[in-house]
Amino acid sequence: MNLDELYQEVILDHYKHPRGAGLREPYEGESHQVNPTCGDEITLRVHVDGDKIGDVSYENVGCSISKASASVLYELVSGATVDDALARLAEFTELMNSKGQGEGDEETLEDAVAFAGVSKYPMRVKCALLGWMAFKDALVRAEASIPGRTDA
Amino acid sequence: MEAVTKLDVEAIRADFPILKRTIGDRTLAYLDSAATSQKPVQVVDAMRRFTEHSNANISRSVHTLGAEATEAYEGARARVAAFIGAPSADEVVFTKNSTEAINLLAYAFQNATLDPHADPRLRLAPGDEIVVTEMEHHANLIPWQQLAQRTGATLKWIGITDHGRLDLESVPDVITERTKLVSFTHVANLLGTVNPTSQITARAREVGALVGLDASQSVPHLPVNVAELGVDFIAFTGHKMLGPTGIGVLWAKADLLDAMPPFLTGGSMIKTVTMEQTTFADAPAKFEAGTPPIAEAVGLAAAVDYLDALGMENVRAHEKELAGYMLERLETVDGLAIIGPRVPIGRSATVSFTLEGVHPHDVGQVLDAEAVAVRVGHHCAKPTCDRFGVNATTRASAYVYNTHEEIDRLVDALGKVRKVFT
Give the contacts of B116 (CB within 8 A, at least 6 positions apart).
none
Q: Is B385 a catalytic residue?
A: no
pTM confidence score: 0.92
Is B160 strand, coil or helix? Answer: strand
B270 touches chain A (CB under 8 A): no
> Does A38 score more than 90 pLDDT?
no
Cα torsion A97, A102, A105, A111: sign: positive
Q: Looking at the domain assignment, is residue A151 inside a domain? A: no
ipTM value for the complex: 0.82
* Same domain as B258, residue B348: no
* Same domain as B343, residue B303: no
Average pLDDT value over all residues in chain B: 96
Q: Which of B89, B270, B380, B390 is catalytic?
A: B380
> Does B181 score more than 80 pLDDT?
yes
If you average pLDDT over residues B97-122, what whole number do you get? 98
Q: How many CB pairs below 8 Å do chains A and B form together?
A: 53
HSE value, Cβ hemisphere, 13 Å, CA-based, for A125: 14
B150 touches chain A (CB under 8 A): no
Q: Which of A9, A6, A1 is nearest to A111 (CA)?
A: A9
Decide if A84 contacts A68 (C-beta within 8 A).
no
Q: Looking at the domain assignment, is residue B33 inside a domain? A: yes
Q: Which of B208, B247, B251, B204 is nearest to B227 (CA)?
A: B251
Phi, psi of B291 (to 5 degrees): -65, 125
If you average pLDDT over residues B389-416, what whole number do you get? 97
A14 touches chain B (CB under 8 A): no
- Determine the Cα–Cα distance for residues A39 and B364; give it in Å rounded to an integer: 15
Residue B82 banded pLDDT, cuts 50, 70, 90:
very high
If you average pLDDT over residues B249-266, what whole number do you get? 98
The verdict on a CB contact (< 8 Å) between A1 and B24 is yes
If you average pLDDT over residues B179-202, what whole number do you get? 98
Tell me which chain A residue has its CA closest to the CA of residue B26.
A1
* Same domain as B283, residue B417: no
Number of domains in chain A: 1
pLDDT per residue as tens digits for the range A64-109: 999 999 999 999 999 999 999 999 999 999 999 999 898 888 889 9
- Determine the Cα–Cα distance for residues B4 and A138; give it in Å rounded to an integer: 61
pLDDT per residue as tens digits for the range B330-367: 999 999 999 999 999 999 999 999 999 999 999 999 99
Cα torsion B25, B26, B30, B31: sign: negative
If you average pLDDT over residues B134-151, what whole number do you get? 98
pLDDT at position A21 is 96
| Residue A18 distance to chain B (closest CA, Å) | 14
- Determine the Cα–Cα distance for residues B196 and B150; give it in Å rounded to an integer: 31
- Determine the Cα–Cα distance for residues B220 and B236; give it in Å rounded to an integer: 9
- Facing residue for A1 by CB, picked from B368, B378, B385: B368
All residues of chain A having their beta carbon less than 8 Å from the beta carbon of residue B360 are 38, 63
* Same domain as B366, residue B296: no
Average pLDDT value over all residues in chain A: 91
Decide if A138 contacts A45 (C-beta within 8 A).
yes
> Does B371 score more than 50 pLDDT?
yes
Q: Give the strand order in the sheet containing B336-339.
A: B336-339, B350-355, B393-397, B375-377
pLDDT at position A14 is 94
* Same domain as B327, residue B298: no
Number of domains in chain B: 2
Whole domain around residue B229: which residue ranges? 45-308
Residue A8: CATH number of its domain: 3.90.1010.10
* Same domain as B25, residue B88: no
Domain boundary among B280, B308, B336: B308
> Does A148 score more than 70 pLDDT?
no
| Residue B389 distance to chain A (closest CA, Å) | 12
> Does B316 score more than 80 pLDDT?
yes
The verdict on a CB contact (< 8 Å) between B420 and A3 is yes
* Same domain as B201, residue B144: yes
* Same domain as B267, residue B159: yes
- Determine the Cα–Cα distance for residues B273 and B337; give it in Å rounded to an integer: 59
Decide if A15 contacts A67 (C-beta within 8 A).
yes
The enclosing H or E element of A136 equals helix A122-145
* Same domain as B70, residue B126: yes
HSE value, Cβ hemisphere, 13 Å, CA-based, for B341: 21
All residues of chain A having their beta carbon less than 8 Å from the beta carbon of residue B365 are 3, 6-7, 121, 124
Q: Looking at the domain assignment, is residue B2 inside a domain? A: no
Q: How many CB atoms lie within 10 A of CB B28?
A: 16
B134 touches chain A (CB under 8 A): no
* Same domain as B71, residue B27: no
Residue B93: CATH number of its domain: 3.40.640.10
All residues of chain A having their beta carbon less than 8 Å from the beta carbon of residue B420 are 3, 7, 12
* Same domain as B218, residue B88: yes
Residue B326: CATH number of its domain: 3.90.1150.10
If you average pLDDT over residues B125-148, what whole number do you get? 98
pLDDT at position A104 is 87
> Does B60 score more than 80 pLDDT?
no
Whole domain around residue A42: which residue ranges? 3-144
If you average pLDDT over residues B381-389, what whole number do you get? 96
Q: Residue A147, preceding bond cis, omega within 30 degrees?
A: no
Residue A150 banded pLDDT, cuts 50, 70, 90:
low
- Determine the Cα–Cα distance for residues B398 and B372; give it in Å rounded to an integer: 12
All residues of chain A having their beta carbon less than 8 Å from the beta carbon of residue B362 are 7, 63-65
Amino acid at B163: H
Tell me which chain B residue has its CA closest to the CA of residue A121.
B365
Window 20-59 of B: residues touching A by CB (8 A cutoff) are: 23-24
Residue A152 banded pLDDT, cuts 50, 70, 90:
very low
